[in-house]
Amino acid sequence: MFYGIPILASLDIGTAACAWALRRIALRPGSDQQRHDRSWAITAAWGMLVSNQLLLVVLMMAVVLTRSTCAGTLGTVTASAIYPLGLLALSTLAWSLFTIVVARAARR
């Protein structure tokens, strides 16, 4: 729980901020395309928040599993589940970053 409470708190605050921003964008006057682009960027920012924290948790688990000598069969099964999860988090982080950069470039 030492790392869990700060991660959950930041996810709660980030999710509330993204929901507030999406609601504000939805109620704001403007064209549908502008609202779509802005909401896409907000969703990508939330994806960055979630994916980088998931990636850090998976990396911490991987380090503990590789340095532990008593992991055994359960450690092997856990490793086979968290390595693809880390790859998924990394690809989601890259997609979110790309989406934010494209949204900012499109506004200029």
- Over the stretch 58-78, which tens digit does the pLDDT of each residue have? 998 888 888 877 777 888 788
What is the C-alpha separation between 90 and 71, in angstroms, rounded?
A: 25
Q: How many domains does the chain have?
A: 1
Domain that holds residue 84: 4-107
Q: pLDDT tens-digit profile of 24-39?
A: 988 888 888 888 888 8
Identify which of 47-56, 62-71, 96-105 has the greatest average pLDDT.
47-56
pLDDT band at 107 (very low <50, low <70, confident <90, very high): low
pTM: 0.76
> 64 φ, ψ to 5°?
-65, -40
* Distances, alpha carbon 104 to alpha carbons 18, 30, 34, 36, in Å: 17, 18, 12, 13
Mean pLDDT computed over every residue of the chain: 86
Instruction: Report which DSSP code applies to 3.
Output: T
pLDDT greater than 70 at residue 81 = yes
